Amino acid sequence: MALPVESTLSPTAGDAVAAAEMPRSVRRGGSIATISGIGFLVIAVAIPLLFKNFLVFQFTQMLVYAIAILGLNLLTGFNGQFSLGHSAFYALGAYTAAILMDQYSVSYIWTLPAAGIVCFVAGFLFGLPALRLEGVYLALATFALAVATPQILKLSPLEHWTGGVQGIVIIKPDAPPGVPLNQDQWLYYFTLAVGLVLYVAARNLVKSRSGRALMAIRDNPIAARSMGVNLALYKSLAFGTSALYTGIAGALGAIVVQFVAPDSFTIVLSIAFLVGLVVGGVGWLPGAIFGGAFVLFVPNIAEGVSKGLSGAVYGVILILLIYLMPTGAAGLVRAVLSRVSR
Amino acid sequence: MELFWQQVLAGIATGAIYACMALAVVMIYQAIDHLNFAQGEMAMFSTFIAFQLMLWGIPYWGAFLITLVVSFIGGVLIDRVIFRPIHDAPILSHVVVFIALLAILNSSAGFIWDFTVKSFPSPFGSAPLFGSSLISAHQAGMIGVTLLLLVFLFVFFRYTRVGLSMRAAAANPASARLVGVRVGWMVALGWGMAAAIGAIAGILIAPVVFLEPNMMISILLYGFAGAVLGGLTSPAGAVLGGFMVGVVENLAGTFIPVIGGELKLPIALMLIVAVLVFKPSGLMGRTVVQRV
Amino acid sequence: MTTLLDVRGLVAGYGGIPALHGVDFSLEEGGVTTLLGANGAGKTTTLRALCGMIRARGEANFAGKRLIGMQTEDIVRLGIAHVPEGRGTFTRMSVEENLQLGAMSRRNGADIKQDIERVYEHFPRLRQRRMQQAGTLSGGEQQMLAIGRALMLRPRLMLLDEPSFGLAPLVVREMFDILAGLNRNEKVSMLLVEQNASLALSLADTAYLLETGRIVTSGPSAQIREDEGVRRSYLGY
Q: What is the pLDDT of residues C86-127, one digit of tens each?
A: 888 999 899 999 999 999 988 888 889 999 999 999 899 999
User: Closest residue of B to C102, CA-based?
Assistant: B179
CA distance C159 to chain B (A): 11
Q: Are residues C104 and B171, on separate chains, in Cβ contact within 8 Å?
A: no
Spatial separation of the C-alpha atoms in residues A39 and A193, rounded to whole Å: 16
pLDDT for residue A24:
57
Q: Which segment of A216-225, A292-301, B153-162, C214-223 scores lowest on mean pLDDT?
A: A216-225
- Chain A contacts of B108, Cβ < 8 Å? 309, 312
Interface of A with C in 173-202 (CB under 8 A): none
pLDDT digits (tens, 9 = 90+) for A52-99: 888 889 999 999 999 999 999 999 989 888 898 999 999 999 999 999
User: Does the pLDDT value for residue A14 go beyond 60?
Assistant: no
Angle at Cα C144 formed by Cα C140 and Cα C150, nearest 5°? 145
Pick from C53, C90, C104: CB nearest B171: C90
Residue A217: pLDDT band (50, 70, 90) is confident
State whether residue B292 sits within 8 Å of chain C by CB. Answer: no
Listed in sequence order, the residues at least 6 apart from B264 whose beta carbon sits closer than 8 Å to its beta carbon are B249, B252, B253
User: Does the pLDDT value for residue A212 go beyond 50?
Assistant: yes
User: Does the pLDDT value for residue A201 go beyond 90?
Assistant: yes
CA distance B180 to chain C (A): 4
Spatial separation of the C-alpha atoms in residues B160 and B167, rounded to whole Å: 11
Contact between C30 and C60 (Cβ < 8 Å): no
Q: How many CB pairs under 8 A join A and C?
A: 9
Spatial separation of the C-alpha atoms in residues B75 and A259, rounded to whole Å: 43
Pick from C81, C103, C135: CB nearest B291: C135
Interface test with B, best of A145, A225, A295, A322 (most B CBs within 10 A): A322
- Chain C contacts of A14, Cβ < 8 Å? 14-17
CA distance A115 to chain C (A): 45
pLDDT for residue B139:
80
State whether residue A43 sits within 8 Å of chain C by CB. Answer: no
The helix or strand, by DSSP H or E, that contains position C166, with its residue range, turns out to be: none
Residue B24 dihedral angles phi and psi, to the nearest 5°: -60, -40
* Complex ipTM: 0.89
- Average of per-residue pLDDT across B21-25: 87
Spatial separation of the C-alpha atoms in residues C3 and C113, rounded to whole Å: 31
Of C36, C153, C41, C149, the residue nearest C87 (C-alpha): C149
- Chain C contacts of B164, Cβ < 8 Å? 97, 100-101, 104
CA distance B111 to chain C (A): 42
User: Does the pLDDT value for residue B131 go beyond 80?
Assistant: no
pLDDT digits (tens, 9 = 90+) for B219-253: 888 888 888 888 887 888 888 999 988 888 888 77
Angle at Cα A193 formed by Cα A237 and Cα A241, nearest 5°? 5
CA distance B134 to chain A (A): 31
State whether residue A20 sits within 8 Å of chain C by CB. Answer: no
Q: Are residues B92 and A76, on separate chains, in Cβ contact within 8 Å?
A: yes
Q: Are residues B102 and A315, on separate chains, in Cβ contact within 8 Å?
A: yes
pLDDT digits (tens, 9 = 90+) for C1-60: 688 999 999 999 887 788 889 899 999 999 999 998 887 788 889 999 999 998 899 999
Q: Are residues A274 and B95, on separate chains, in Cβ contact within 8 Å?
A: yes
Q: Are residues B177 and C91, on separate chains, in Cβ contact within 8 Å?
A: no
State whether residue B172 sits within 8 Å of chain C by CB. Answer: yes
CA distance B85 to chain C (A): 17
pLDDT for residue B260:
58
pLDDT digits (tens, 9 = 90+) for C141-192: 999 999 999 999 999 999 999 998 888 888 898 889 999 999 998 889 999 9
State whether residue C40 sits within 8 Å of chain A by CB. Answer: no
- Average of per-residue pLDDT across B114-140: 77
Pick from C73, C149, C153: CB nearest B182: C73
Of B10, B43, B73, the residue nearest B206 (C-alpha): B43
pLDDT digits (tens, 9 = 90+) for B144-202: 888 898 889 889 888 899 999 998 998 889 999 999 999 999 989 989 999 999 999 89
- Chain A contacts of C17, Cβ < 8 Å? 13-14, 17
Q: Are residues B92 and A129, on separate chains, in Cβ contact within 8 Å?
A: no
Query: Buried (b) or exposed (e) across B49-86, using 16+ Cβ within 10 A?
Result: bbbebbeeebeeeebbeebbebbbebbbebbeebbeeb
pLDDT for residue A174:
82
Pick from A129, A315, A327: CB nearest B104: A315
Name chain A's partners: 3 or more CB pairs within 8 A.
B, C
- Chain A contacts of C16, Cβ < 8 Å? 14
Q: How many CB pairs under 8 A join A and B?
A: 129
CA distance C172 to chain B (A): 20
**Mean model confidence pLDDT for chain A:** 84
User: Closest residue of B to C103, CA-based?
Assistant: B179
Name the H helices within chain C.
43-50, 72-77, 95-102, 109-122, 124-128, 139-151, 169-185, 197-203, 221-226, 228-230
State whether residue C229 sits within 8 Å of chain A by CB. Answer: no
Angle at Cα A46 formed by Cα A40 and Cα A47, nearest 5°? 90
CA distance A8 to chain C (A): 18
CA distance A149 to chain B (A): 9
Q: Are residues C76 and B178, on separate chains, in Cβ contact within 8 Å?
A: yes
pLDDT for residue A6:
36
- Average of per-residue pLDDT across B95-115: 90
Q: Are residues B175 and C81, on separate chains, in Cβ contact within 8 Å?
A: no
Q: How many CB pairs under 8 A join B and C?
A: 70
Of B124, B119, B133, the residue nearest B215 (C-alpha): B119
Name chain B's partners: 3 or more CB pairs within 8 A.
A, C
Contact between A115 and A247 (Cβ < 8 Å): yes
- Average of per-residue pLDDT across A190-218: 90
Q: Reduced to 3 states, what is the DSSP secondary structure of residue B283?
A: coil
Q: Are residues B92 and A275, on separate chains, in Cβ contact within 8 Å?
A: no
How many C-beta atoms surround the C-beta of residue A204 within 10 A? 11
pLDDT for residue A43:
87
Listed in sequence order, the residues at least 6 apart from A177 whose beta carbon sits closer than 8 Å to its beta carbon are none
Listed in sequence order, the residues at least 6 apart from C237 whose beta carbon sits closer than 8 Å to its beta carbon are C197, C198, C231
Query: Buried (b) or exposed (e) across A296-324, using 16+ Cβ within 10 A?
Result: bebbeebeeeeeebbbbbbbbbbbebbee
User: Closest residue of C to A14, CA-based?
Assistant: C15
Residue B274: pLDDT band (50, 70, 90) is confident
Q: Are residues B288 and C91, on separate chains, in Cβ contact within 8 Å?
A: yes
Residue C210 dihedral angles phi and psi, to the nearest 5°: -105, 135
